[in-house]
Amino acid sequence: MAQWQTGIVQDDSSHHIFLEFAVRGAPTALPGRALAMASVPDGAQVLAFGAGLSRSLAEVPAPEGIADFTAIEGAEGLSAPATQRDLFIWLQGERRDELFARALAWRDALIEVADLATEEHGFRFRDSRDLTGFVDGSANPKGDAKAAAACIGEGRQAGGSYVLAQRWVHNLAAFHALPISDQERVIGRTKAESIELTGDAMLPNSHVSRTDIKRGGQAVKIYRRSAPVGGVRDAGLYFLAFSADLNRFRWLLESMYGLRDPNFRDRLLSYSKPVSGSFFYAPPADAMLAAFKN
């Protein structure tokens, strides 16, 4: 398999910057090749393209399945908005100063062709927990299974990855007002040890139940790389996930929003809501570099 962008599977960074750009026109190449090639001190970067940009870039073969994120209208009036952007740059590492310097450099390099539409700064919260206090990504694939879940395995897009990016805002006051035992039933795991609930304790509308799904008898696996973001007034999560198949994101969201079983929707949606949504394609490393000119 071609070499995927290594930042996809570089776990447990202390700091993150998520940048989403709106690109003007339909460029066949982007400025910033030196930045695309340069390593990030004590960190990594991942670059990905929306459907329209993927098709306009001359040297990057666009996968047939790439598409824009479309809004979801779910059960009980719950919804997930679409705010599709063209270019996604994710910076992660141990030095916030270097990540910020790289973000500024990307803004300046792209200023003639793109506008910065979304900027979020993420961080590791305690022992890699979400701001709800629960460990994030407990069910992530391990070892070699990471690449199988996150990256296309064969064909001319081998090593590429589909990306889902959503900014979520938590109602932490409401969630933390619940007894811990009820918080655990909302999530489907224990809070302290992150052990999956079993038996009657695992409710069909828990977050684990609504995202632990199968298609054709096979578990639907994605690779999550989310991070807490925001300030006191808008604390939440930048949900970031990678998959070898774009449809996996749709299946999971449909399950969460009660579109596959109208009797059950994810109870976590009572305490957290998305305010953005985009799909991207992160090509393998060599194809990613070919998208940029000097």
Residue 1 lies in a domain: no
pLDDT tens digits, residue range 279-290? 999 999 999 999
Identify the bridge partners of residue 48 per DSSP, sorted by sequence position: 88
Does 191 reside within a domain?
yes
Q: How many domains does the chain have?
A: 1
Is 136 catalytic? The answer is yes
| Residue % of the chain over a pLDDT of 90 | 91
What is the residue-wise DSSP string for 2-31?
----GGGG----SEEEEEEEEEPS--SSEE
pLDDT of residue 1: 46
Label residue 2 by pLDDT band (50, 70, 90).
low
Instruction: Name the active-site residue from 12, 42, 108, 136.
Output: 136
User: What pLDDT, in 10s, does the model give residues 203-235?
Assistant: 999 999 999 999 999 999 999 999 999 999 999
Domain that holds residue 123: 6-293
User: Is the residue at 146 inside a domain?
Assistant: yes
